[in-house]
Amino acid sequence: MLLKIAWRNIWRKRNRSLIIIFAVTLGIWAGLFICSFMGGFINEMMDESINHTFSHIQIHNPAFKGNNEIQYTIREPQKVLAAIESNPDVKAVTLRNVAFGMTASPSTASGTKIIGINPVVERKVTGFNIFVKQGTYFDGKTKNGVLVGQKLVDKLHIKMHSKIVLTFAGGDGNIVSGAFRVIGIYKTSNAQSDLATVFVNSDDFNAVLGNDTTFHEIAMVLKDADKVDTVNAAIKKQFPTLKVESWKELSPETVTLNDYIAFILWILMGVFMLGLGFAIVNTMLMAVMERTRELGMLMAIGLNKSRTFGMIMIETISLTFVGCPFGIGLSYLTVTYFGKHGISLAAFAKGMENFGMSSMVYPFLRENVYWEIAIMVFCTALLAAVYPSIRAIRLKPAEAIHKI
């Protein structure tokens, strides 16, 4: 019966209740939409900078990173590769060569990182091929082909099929170099790295070096990106003499950005919930004041304090929860729609690309978030209901009844 009373009381002041329901709907929608937008943003960022470039976990010679010298190779790379290939959590793994050197065109030169890849396996690991905008990805026919970033093409004044010379320090300290032909021009959303990285076939790289077994980097992607920490730890244990790093270690700035975004989201949610809380407190206080005589009468005839308290709590919570399904439904529709069609950030794209992000955002929400927000709203309603309920039980029946 208390439930019935509470429910009917909600519809007593229809407009006011509708305002709260609307506020709840809007609050949930705005909260979820921002979450999903940020989720999409992070996904995009992760996809570009982690999945397609860093990969999830990389392995190096422990000395490699500091000096980037060509002699710090991974010992017995095929053996390590085989061990990792047999790890059930790993989706794909590849070997790479990495050198720091010079890329020169007839007119000018630029310092670049030269990465030798196994084109077939790399496709499965990072799917780098998708970034090739002009020409082709390595097709296995052209010898000494090179993929050059659009930015570098502009800088070196070269074009498709231009000949360029890659120069880097060999293992014995000698300078080695090789002539390569531009077979493709790629463009990722990270302009900085596009300017400073060229890709060649690993076989060609080793040929320039005069050696066919050196590898500097093992990169892998996992079946489940969320497992990166546990898999990383396991591989670290498996190869104690190698340097095993997850993308979180390789790109701490991405982690920081992720954390920062999560933090901002929490603050925003907090603000939404605070606003919602105040709206609820306000409305329910009004409802309690209006019903002073009725509440006084109820306490006079024998509605005890815990029941009175419960009645106002139930009313507040049900009021809030009427809005919940609307908010969640609306969010679901919006997120699904934009998740498919994306939101264009073209206006900001120039600045964004420098951070390694693309200009389309596809909102994304984990299913759990819907529940989390429902729980958050519930807690807010619960907290917001307390004060009006206390005000209700503090009423003195004798005075309340005679209030005009």
Partner 1 sequence: MNVIDINNVSKVYHDNAIPVPAVTDVTLHFTEGEFAALVGPSGSGKTTLLNIIGGLDKPTKGEVIIEGQNVTSLSDSKMIDFRLQNIGFVFQAYNLIPVLTARENVEFIMLLQKRPKAEREKRVAELLKEVGLQDKMDTRPNEMSGGQQQRVAVARALASKPKFILADEPTANLDSKSAANLLDIMSEMNKNENITFIFSTHDSRVIERAHRVITLTDGVVSSDVLQK
Residues contributing to the site for partner 1 (CB under 8 A): 1, 4-5, 8-9, 12, 293-294, 297-305, 307, 396-398, 401-402
DSSP annotation of 225 reads G
Min separation Cβ 23 and partner 1, Å: 23
Residue 5 vs 82, nearer CB to partner 1: 5
Pairs from 339-343 (Cβ < 8 Å, separation ≥ 24): 339/36, 339/40, 339/363, 339/364, 343/37, 343/40
Helix (H) or strand (E) holding 92: strand 90-104
Min separation Cβ 340 and partner 1, Å: 45
Residue 79 vs 394, nearer CB to partner 1: 394
Are the beta carbons of 74 and 58 closer than 8 angstroms? no
Min separation Cβ 401 and partner 1, Å: 6
Min separation Cβ 396 and partner 1, Å: 8
CB atoms within 10 A of CB 305: 13
For residue 93, what are the β-bridge partners?
Answer: 220
Axis-axis angle for helices 2-10, 305-341 (nearest 10): 50
CA distance 328 to 302: 40
Min separation Cβ 368 and partner 1, Å: 37
Are the beta carbons of 336 and 12 closer than 8 angstroms? no
Unique residue bearing structure tokens 């815990």: 306
What the block records as the tokens of 242 is: 């190698």
Min separation Cβ 294 and partner 1, Å: 6
> Which residue blocks in 291-366 are alpha helix, DSSP H?
292-301, 305-341, 349-353
CA separation (Å) from 43 to 157, 225, 350, 391?
34, 11, 19, 47
SS3 assignment, position 57: strand
Residue 83 vs 303, nearer CB to partner 1: 303
Residue 1 vs 346, nearer CB to partner 1: 1
CA distance 136 to 23: 53
Residue 285 vs 297, nearer CB to partner 1: 297
CA distance 89 to 92: 9
Min separation Cβ 12 and partner 1, Å: 6
Residue 5 vs 333, nearer CB to partner 1: 5
CB atoms within 10 A of CB 21: 19
Min separation Cβ 306 and partner 1, Å: 9
Residue 350 vs 403, nearer CB to partner 1: 403
Residue 237 vs 402, nearer CB to partner 1: 402
